Structure 1
Amino acid sequence: MPRSKAFNPEVDRLLGTMPDSELAKRLGCSRQLVTLRRHQLGIRSFYPHRRPWTRAEEELLGTMPDRRLARKINRSVESVAARRAAKGIPIFDPKKHHWTPEDDKLLGQRPDEQVAMLLGVSKYAVIHRRCRLGIRAFGGRTYERQRPWTPQEEALLGTATDVELAVRLGRTVANVRHRRQRLGIPAYGHHWTPKEDALLGKMPDAKVARRLGCTVKAVARRRERLGIPAFRPAEGKSPGSPP
């Protein structure tokens, strides 16, 4: 097996423990060389926070450049490209098809698979276009572009990716993201540490939120998920008074 002078048993043990680009910087070589060596040894790439792919995320594969989608759903470009290839979805090509008013009239009038065959595009591109225009699926529910938000819907913001909630609630991704940001709710994906969890229930949720730089709703959701009761000050003391 060919091996670069940059690699030795000690360096090989670092493969897969950090992004290839970071290890390449440490070794002073190219990322491609690190990736090649990792593949030669059969070592999986580094993913600090693996999470299952949702159906909503998979429906977006191939509907935009991998790099753009990676930013949208908070995944690595490598992860997006690998998932797209595994599903047999061709890489996005903006020059391949330009949507016309006549094309848009087909959306929702027949199954997405049939529209895709008629237009020569992927089913995922059809789904993305239809949802973006707020057109209901053939025999399905309507993806409304504008309608009042309910307290129940707002309670879900930040509990899953914007893409997943958009599909679940029948809204556009932009509509979900705008509402979440307007309410000051952080995007899904914050990883709570044991030190942060230790603060829950020890002081008012509002105070914890200020310390961690997140919303009160995010703190309350985390506390309730862990089964920690809300903070209750001792009798005769105000919530903000020292012990």
Structure 2
Amino acid sequence: MKRYEWTEEAIALLGTMPDRKLAEKLGVSLAVVRGRRIKEGIARSGSKKRHKWTKEELALLGTDTDQRIADRLGLDRIQVMNKRIYEEIQAFTPRPEPKDTALKYKDLLGTDTDKKIGKKIGCSTARVTQLRKELGIAAYSKSSEVVWGNSDDALLGTMSDRKVAGVLGLSASRVMQRRHKLGIDPYRKSPTPHKPRQSKLAEFPVWERVIDIDQPQFFEVISEAYMARFGKRLTYGELSKLTYWSVSRLQKWFTSGTAQQPLQLQVRHHIYLAIKLFVSGLNGPQSA
């Protein structure tokens, strides 16, 4: 298909009348007119002016949920989400709740009296005692201290406290107490080196390739890019999770036949960006 050559006169008509009417006037498809108007940043005829993002507003993206930022700025959630995806900003992920104070210092339990440990970590004696019992750690007792040899101490930190306890015939809590007394760090397995995942953005089809192809073909193109990245086809269910459109709506857009519904260009662009950024690992904490 020959690309339409836009003249200054034709560009000046954008936004002065409905896109469909202008498309008929210029003898081009509706998608061509809409695509050019969006590219020029011109609002559609009879609509509100396009929102101009300030530096302060852009700085908010990704710092909270899209809905909360939208409420704060007086915008729709989809507007905020589209802008965040366009700017390649990761979705907001809530921080995990802080852990219980006593649980954070569980390695200290049983190495001294519950009262002294509670004062040391700023926790009540009752909470320290409760957690120690829940974890099956024996209470501290001077009368039950074990006589440790140099060979016994040499095992501390070289394997888990439970394994050392099995070798020496002691409880894991006794081994933990001795290790803390000597200032030896607990045993930790060396992490497996992580090979960074290479970005697949370079293989993703450019927007100009999919802007005006038919809807089922558009779905096939993005599905092929998804398969190249994850080794499986893109389902309507997965696409629904990524774009927040229902499965039934997606089926009506991308299933051929008389029941097929038209797909607006801005929605097509949103779906395109969502898949593109998910393939690159920028669109939130989801995983394929």
TM-score, length of structure 2 as denominator length: 0.27
Name which structure has the greater RCO, CA cutoff 8 Å, separation 6+.
2
TM-score, length of structure 1 as denominator length: 0.32
Structure number with greater Rg is 2
